[in-house]
Amino acid sequence: MPTIVRLRNAKICIYADDHNPPHFNLRGPNSNANINFRTFEIMKGSGSRADLAEAKEWVNRYGNRQALLDVWSRLNDRD
């Protein structure tokens, strides 16, 4: 699972050949969640308030959401 970015206490990762909808995995000592990066809805699991806030801030920075979509598309191309 490629780590996309390391945050203070967690990391954002994307698995290859993963299920839809496009999402990232937030992993850390206090977080284990699958999060839709378009809506930021937690699809499965849970995360600490601090980890979720930091991940949301990172995703919402200019260009990062598109970068996640690009990685998702590269790793999960279904053609």
pLDDT value for 59: 94
**What is the domain range of residue 38?**
3-75
Round to whole Å and give the CA distance between 19 and 15. 9
Residue-wise pLDDT for 38-61, tens only, equals: 899 999 999 999 999 999 999 999
Identify the band that residue 79 occupies on the pLDDT scale cut at 50, 70 and 90: low
With a cut of 60, say whether residue 17 has pLDDT above it.
Answer: yes
Quote the pTM value: 0.89
Q: How many domains are contained in the chain? A: 1
Average pLDDT (20-38) is: 94
Strands, sheet with 11-13, edge to edge from the N-terminal-most edge strand: 3-6, 11-13, 23-28, 31-36, 42-46
